[in-house]
Amino acid sequence: MQVSEIEWSKTEQKVAKEAFEKAYEREIAALIQEVRAQASAIAELDDMWRLHDFLSARRHDIDGKYDYSYSVLLFIFARLVKEGWLHLDELKGLQTDKLSKVAALSRM
């Protein structure tokens, strides 16, 4: 599946950017809630280091995942759909072949 040399129209770029930011905001909001919940449940040192490990992993994950680059954007969208941070509907406005690719990749 050749996705790295796809052209993105101005309209598509706008749709993509908005969808990307929406997913990012959702994931961050959920993460903040999760961290607050874990922090409020800390009873001993081990719980605190577990929170630290959790934050280390999530930071690494998020830093790597939200790389807005057109060459990998369909893969990112597929992952975001798969993980539930984005709905395919929210990519409406992209060309049909792009939507099909995201849908297919998200089911892998």
Name the site residues for a second copy (rule: CB under 8 A). 28, 31-32, 35-36, 38-40, 42-45, 48-49, 51-52, 55-56, 59
CB of 42 to a second copy, least distance (A): 5
Q: Which residues on neighbouring strands pair with residue 94, listed in sequence order? A: 92
Q: Smaller CB distance to a second copy: residue 30 or 104?
A: 30
Distance between CA atoms of residues 80 and 75, nearest Å: 9
CB of 32 to a second copy, least distance (A): 5
Q: Smaller CB distance to a second copy: residue 5 or 44?
A: 44
CB of 80 to a second copy, least distance (A): 17
Distance between CA atoms of residues 87 and 80, nearest Å: 8
Cα 74 to chain center, whole Å? 11
Distance between CA atoms of residues 64 and 37, nearest Å: 24
